[in-house]
Amino acid sequence: GAVVSQHPSWVICKSGTSVKIECRSLDFQATTMFWYRQFPKQSLMLMATSNEGSKATYEQGVEKDKFLINHASLTLSTLTVTSAHPEDSSFYICSATFPNTQYFGPGTRLTVL
Amino acid sequence: SQQGEEDPQALSIQEGENATMNCSYKTSINNLQWYRQNSGRGLVHLILIRSNEREKHSGRLRVTLDTSKKSSSLLITASRAADTASYFCATVRGSNYKLTFGKGTLLTVNP
């Protein structure tokens, strides 16, 4: 149990385009999901906290207009990287809390050309 | 800023040996957790230790927590090649489940 999936697992896009990443909790409902970014050989940095039915809470330094987060249901949160640039290339990982443990998705590798 | 700092940054050992990784943090915490990440993959939760606990075991894993020194250690006994991965500590400060990750230790277990 407590499985979190992400889609897509990898994506390559052109600079200036937008990319949507989905995070789903498959066998449980999660009122809170988190989005992290991880650059090569570095740790995970929390980007935002996504709460179902309300606006996401962004960490300091994360542009909310660039990284749009929608948590429309108890099992789905989406992260949209708008007008992506090469410096946005990274590994994006989501997690969902149930009941007080975070379960992580497998991650999405984004490469912006 | 990073809450957790692990050392060593990289550790290479032979199969069968024990591996010890340390983590230090700066502020008071609710609990501390250890995760494993295989290259290019998601994170796997290993163990959680609460601030009022001093030691916890799970299979070949042993975690200690010293809140007076703001440090924790993860010991993997009788290591296997399959234990090769990056290991991260992460702290939780409040009740909102937000995790603050350390920089991680890259463990390589040579067969």
Distance from the Cα of B16 to chain A's closest Cα (Å) equals 26
**A90 contacts A39 by C-beta, under 8 angstroms:** yes
If pLDDT is split at 50, 70 and 90, which confidence band does B4 have?
low
For A13-38, what is the mean pLDDT?
Answer: 94
Interface of A with B (CB under 8 A): 4, 6, 32, 34, 42-46, 49, 91, 93, 95, 97, 100-107, 109
Q: Which residues does chain B have within 8 Å of residue A103's beta carbon, measured at their own beta carbons? A: 45
What band does A4 get if pLDDT is binned at 50, 70 and 90?
very high
Compute the distance between CA of residue A44 and CA of residue A39 in angstroms, rounded to an integer: 8
Q: Closest CB to B97: pick one of A102, A105, A107.
A: A102
The pLDDT of A65-70, averaged and rounded, is 95
The pLDDT assigned to B2 comes to 36
Nearest CB among A42, A43, A104 relative to B42 is that of A104
CA angle (A49 as vertex; A38, A80 as ends), nearest 5 = 65
Instruction: Convert the pLDDT of each residue in B66-94 to its tens digit.
Output: 999 999 999 999 999 999 999 999 999 87
Chain B residues at the A interface, defined by Cβ less than 8 Å, are 2, 35, 40-45, 48, 88, 96-104
Average pLDDT value for residue range B33-45? 91
* Closest partner CB to A107 (pick from B42, B45, B97): B42
Chain B residue with CA closest to A93: the answer is: B42
For residue A86, give the DSSP letter. Answer: G
Q: What was the pLDDT predicted at B1?
A: 31
Model pLDDT, residue A97: 87
Sign, Cα dihedral of B70, B25, B109, B82: positive
When CB atoms are compared, the residue of B35, B42, B88 closest to A106 is B42
Average pLDDT (B40-61) is 94
Q: What is the DSSP letter of B31?
A: E
User: What band does A98 get if pLDDT is binned at 50, 70 and 90?
Assistant: confident
Q: Residue A35 pLDDT > 60, yes or no? A: yes
| B60, two tokens | 């070949």
Contact B48 A101 (CB under 8 A): yes
Q: How many helices (H) and strands (E) does chain B have?
A: 0, 11
